[in-house]
Structure 1
Amino acid sequence: MKTFLSLSEARKSALWNHLLKLSSVSLPTGKTGTKRVIDHLGYVQIDTLTVIERAHHHTLWVRQPSYTPQILDELLAKDRWVFEYWGHAASYLPMHDYRYYLPKMREFPRKNSWEKRWLLANKKLADSILKCIRDEGAMGSKEFKAQPGTGKRSWWNWKPAKTGLELLFWQGKLMVSERRNFQRIYDLTERVLPGNLNTTMPGDDELGRFMVLRALSVYGIAQENEIRGHIHAGKRNIVSASLKDMLASGEVMEVTVENFEKQKYFALPKTLEDSSKSLPEISNSGVFLLSPFDNMIILRERMKRLFNFDYTIECYIPEKKRKYGYFTLPILWGDTFIGRLDPKVDRKQKTFYVRHLAFEQEFKKAADLVPLLETQLKELARFNQCEQIKIEKVSPIKIEKLLKKKIISAHN
C-alpha cells in the first residue's frame, strides 16, 4: 500500500471524497441522493445570504443536479432525517449523528461566558419560554412579540426572548422543528427527536474516533489541524488522542504528499488502497461553480496548499478593498481551480448577473472552457429560477470577447 502521494493524487483523492467528479457513477435522484450526499459530507453549512440561492441548497445541488430546496426542507421538518446544530458552523447534520453532539450541548455554556451569565440572570425567562412552547407548541421568535391591540404576550420583551430561544437551542433543550420563510421554528427536543434514535452520550474515545473518521472520509488526506477543524463536536485534545490511538492500531495511516514532505498528512487505509489502484481521472468534461461555503473550500489554507488557490469571500471586506467581488464562486475545472465568478440574481427580472468573472493569471484554455462554462451557467441560472444571463465584467480582458460572444448572445 503506497504511503507517498503525488500532488495530483492528493488532489484527486480530495475531489473524489468530496463527491466532486464527473464520471459514469452518479447519485440517485430525490431524497435518496440528497441523504447520501449529506451523510458522506457529514454536514452542510447553513447560509443566510441570498445573493443567489442559499449556500446549503447550492452545496447539495452541485453534487446532485436534480436537487430542489424542498427536499432539504422535508428532510428537516417531515422526515426528521437531518437536524440543525453546530458542525463546522451552523449546519444541517445527519440525525443519526445526533448523539455525538450531546457533549457539546452538555458543555454549553462555557464557564465565565456571556451566555452563562445571561442564563443565570434570566432563568425565569428561559423557564417561561420552555413552558410556553410546551403548552402552545412549536414557535419562532416572532411569536414572542406582543401583538398590537391585544396585549397578548405583552409581558415578553422580544430581544431577550430571541436570545433565550437561541441559547436554549445551543443547550439542546430546544431543536429546530422546521423553517418558515427561513425563520427557525423551535420545539421541545423530545418532540423533535425520532423515538428510536440512539441518544447515548459518547465517551471521549468514541467521540474522538467519530471526528477522525468523519474528517478523513471526506477529506481523503488531511493534516491533524484539518481533522480537528472539520466539525466542532468535541475538544481538540480528544481528536488528537484518538488520532494517535488509531495510528497505533493501523486504522489511520501517515502519508507523505509531494512538495510537502516535511508535513504530516493522514488517511484511512481505504483511501490509500483506492489511490494504489489508481482512481479514475478527474474529468475535464464539466465545470463546477462552488458556493463560498462549500465543504470542499471551507478550509482556506488547505485550498491554498493543495490546489494553489488563494480564496477569500469578500462580502465581509469593505467594497473599496474587494478584488473580485462580493460573493465569488470558485470555479473548478478538472482538478484545478481556474477562477471565480461573482454572481447576483435579480429575482423580479429573472436575470442571473455575472458581475465579475475573473480567471487565474496562469489559465490559458479559454476556448476549451467556454462551452462547458456556458452549460454550467445555464444550469445555475435555472436553479436560481432565472431565464437569462448577463455578463458585466471579465478579467483578464483578452477572454472577455470570446465569452460574451458565446454566452451573452445566446441568453440576451
Structure 2
Amino acid sequence: MHRLTRDEARRIAVRAQLLDADRPGDVVEVAEQIGTIKIDPTATIAPAEQSILWSRIGWSFEQPQLTKAVETDRLLFEFDGGFHPSSLLPVLVPRMRQRKLRDATVQWMRANDAFRRDVLARLRADGPLLAADIPDTSAVAAASEGGWYGTNAVPRMLEILMLIGEVAIVGRVGRSRRWDIAERVYPSDLPDISYEDAGRRLEERRLQAAGIARRRSPWTPVGEAGEAAEVEGSAWKWRVDPEALAAMDTDPGGRVAILNPYDGMLYDRPRLQELFDFTYVLEQFKPKAQRRYGYFAHPVLVGDRFIGLLDAELDRKRETLVVNALHELVPFDEEETEMVHAEIRELGEWLGVPVTGL
C-alpha cells in the first residue's frame, strides 16, 4: 500500500497528463501517454484537438502535424470522438467487435438491416466516402438522440458501424469525416486478444493517462491496474501507476497550462474535486444569464493547482484574441499574474494574433 500526500497525488496526475515543465516533443508522444485527444468543433479559441495538443507541446505544434500522424503515417487513428495512438488498436478492436449495443439501437439496426448492407456495399465499392456521398435507404429514421442527429440516417448508421468495428474513419475533409470499411483501415495482423484481456489492458492504459485514479470510478475505470494507494485526507481506494511513482524523484516542476474544457485532465470531475479541490462546471449549455465564468471558460493550471478560469475568444474579423475576463479562483500573487499573462500572450502568438483585454 503506497501512502501519498495530496501534493504527491496531484503531481502524479499532472505529470501523467504531460502538463508539467517537461513538455513532450510531438503529437504521437502526447497520444501514446494520454490515450485520447478529444475532438470537438467548439472553437471560441481553437478546436479541442488543437488546443489540447498546444497545452502540452506549446508554440511548435501545428495542425498539419496531427493530420500527417493520422492520415499519412497512420500512427494515430480516429474513433468515437477522439484521436488515439495506433498502439491501442490490438485492445480496442476486440472490444469493438464484441460491443453490446443498447436494446433500442439493436432494434433500430434490425429494422434497417438492408440499409446497413447498402452502406457497407457502397463503401466496399467506392470508399473512402463522406457521409454525404452515401444514399439514405433507411426503413426507419434515426432517433433524434437529444437533437444530435438530423433526418438523414447515414451518419447515425456509420457511427454505430464504427463502434462495432465494421467501418472506420480514414481522415477528414474540413470537419467532415471520410469513412471506409474497417478491414481496409485497421491492420490485418492484429494479435488475437480476448475481450476480457483487452479490457484489462485498457484499464492499464487509462491508469497510465491518469497517473492516479479511483479504483471503481465510472469516469476513469482502472479496476485492479497498477498498485493500491492511500491519499492523505481521502477515504477513497486509489490505484496508482507504478511507473509514475518511480518517476517522482525526477519531477521537473510545474508550469502554467491553459486547458480546453474538453481536456482529459478535466474529465473525471469527482477526482478534480477530491485531489485538487477544484469544482469545474462547463457553462456552455447554461442560459447566458446563469453563467458566472463565461460560455467556454478555460481552466488555468499553475503547477498542481487550478487558480483561475480564462474567458477569451478569437475574434476572426479583427484577428485578435480577446480576453473577456480572467477569473481568479484564488488571488494571484505577482509572479502568478506574470506567468499566466505570459502564457495567454503565447497562446495569441500560436494563433498568430495579438491579445487584447489583459
TM-score, normalised to structure 2, is: 0.89
Q: 1:390 matched to which residue of 2?
A: 356
5+ residue gaps, structure 1: 147-152, 231-235, 247-251, 392-406, 408-412
Contact in 2 for aligned 1:346/1:352 (Cα 8 Å): yes
CA separation in 1, counterparts of 2:68 and 2:246?
A: 37
1:224-283 CA distance string (max 9 Å, x none) = 134x533xxxxx7xx64xx1xx6xxxxx322111111x32112133333334xx343623
User: Pick from 219, 236, 243: which aligns with 2:210?
Assistant: 219
5+ residue gaps, structure 2: 142-150
Q: 1:117 matched to which residue of 2?
A: 107
1:142 equivalent in alignment to 2:111: no
Q: 2:24 matched to which residue of 1?
A: 27
Using the TM superposition, give the Cα deviation of residue 329 of structure 1 relative to its aligned residue in structure 2, in angstroms: 0.5
Which amino acid in the other structure matches residue 90 of structure 2? R
**Corresponding residue SS for 1:296:** helix
1:268 equivalent in alignment to 2:241: yes
Q: 2:120 matched to which residue of 1?
A: 130
- Poorly superposed stretches of 4+, deviation over 6 Å: none
CA separation in 1, counterparts of 2:291 and 2:102?
A: 38
Using the TM superposition, give the Cα deviation of residue 181 of structure 1 relative to its aligned residue in structure 2, in angstroms: 0.7
CA separation in 1, counterparts of 2:340 and 2:154?
A: 47
CA separation in 2, counterparts of 1:133 and 1:281?
A: 49
1:289-336 CA distance string (max 9 Å, x none) = 111111111111111111111111110112111111110100011221
CA 1:78–1:168: 2 relative to 1, 3 Å: same
Which amino acid in the other structure matches residue 95 of structure 1? S
CA 1:72–1:118: 2 relative to 1, 3 Å: same
Q: 2:340 matched to which residue of 1?
A: 373
Which amino acid in the other structure matches residue 211 of structure 1? L
Contact in 2 for aligned 1:99/1:201 (Cα 8 Å): yes
1:37 equivalent in alignment to 2:30: yes
CA 1:141–1:270: 2 relative to 1, 3 Å: closer
Contact in 2 for aligned 1:282/1:335 (Cα 8 Å): no
TM-score, normalised to structure 1, is: 0.78
CA 1:220–1:108: 2 relative to 1, 3 Å: closer
CA separation in 1, counterparts of 2:256 and 2:292?
A: 23
1:280 equivalent in alignment to 2:246: no
Contact in 2 for aligned 1:328/1:341 (Cα 8 Å): yes
User: Pick from 63, 83, 88: which aligns with 2:77?
Assistant: 83
Equivalent residue runs for 1:151-230 within 5 Å: 159-195=152-188, 197-204=189-196, 206-226=197-217, 229-230=219-220
Q: Which moved more, 1:71-80 or 1:304-313?
A: 71-80
CA 1:191–1:58: 2 relative to 1, 3 Å: same
Using the TM superposition, give the Cα deviation of residue 207 of structure 1 relative to its aligned residue in structure 2, in angstroms: 2.1
Q: 2:13 matched to which residue of 1?
A: 14
CA separation in 2, counterparts of 1:192 and 1:36?
A: 22
CA separation in 1, counterparts of 2:166 and 2:354?
A: 46
CA separation in 2, counterparts of 1:203 and 1:169?
A: 17
Contact in 1 for aligned 2:12/2:245 (Cα 8 Å): no
Equivalent residue runs for 1:397-408 within 5 Å: 407=358
CA separation in 1, counterparts of 2:23 and 2:310?
A: 26
CA separation in 2, counterparts of 1:203 and 1:163?
A: 25
Which amino acid in the other structure matches residue 126 of structure 2? E
**Corresponding residue SS for 1:100:** helix
**Corresponding residue SS for 2:300:** strand
1:184-222 CA distance string (max 9 Å, x none) = 110111111245x51524341x22331231122222222
CA separation in 1, counterparts of 2:230 and 2:304?
A: 19
1:50 equivalent in alignment to 2:43: yes
CA separation in 2, counterparts of 1:194 and 1:347?
A: 41
Contact in 2 for aligned 1:80/1:192 (Cα 8 Å): no
Contact in 1 for aligned 2:214/2:239 (Cα 8 Å): yes
User: Pick from 31, 39, 62: which aligns with 1:68?
Assistant: 62
**Corresponding residue SS for 2:84:** strand
Q: 2:89 matched to which residue of 1?
A: 98
Using the TM superposition, give the Cα deviation of residue 21 of structure 1 relative to its aligned residue in structure 2, in angstroms: 0.9
1:254 equivalent in alignment to 2:228: yes
Using the TM superposition, give the Cα deviation of residue 126 of structure 1 relative to its aligned residue in structure 2, in angstroms: 1.4
Using the TM superposition, give the Cα deviation of residue 371 of structure 1 relative to its aligned residue in structure 2, in angstroms: 2.6
User: Pick from 294, 308, 312: which aligns with 1:343?
Assistant: 312
CA separation in 2, counterparts of 1:263 and 1:189?
A: 41
The CA RMSD measured in Å over matched residues stands at 2.4
CA separation in 1, counterparts of 2:95 and 2:24?
A: 33
CA separation in 2, counterparts of 1:282 and 1:126?
A: 52
Contact in 2 for aligned 1:80/1:193 (Cα 8 Å): no
**Corresponding residue SS for 1:315:** coil
More helix by share: 1
Which amino acid in the other structure matches residue 229 of structure 2? V
CA 1:289–1:120: 2 relative to 1, 3 Å: same
Which amino acid in the other structure matches residue 165 of structure 1? L
1:363 equivalent in alignment to 2:331: yes
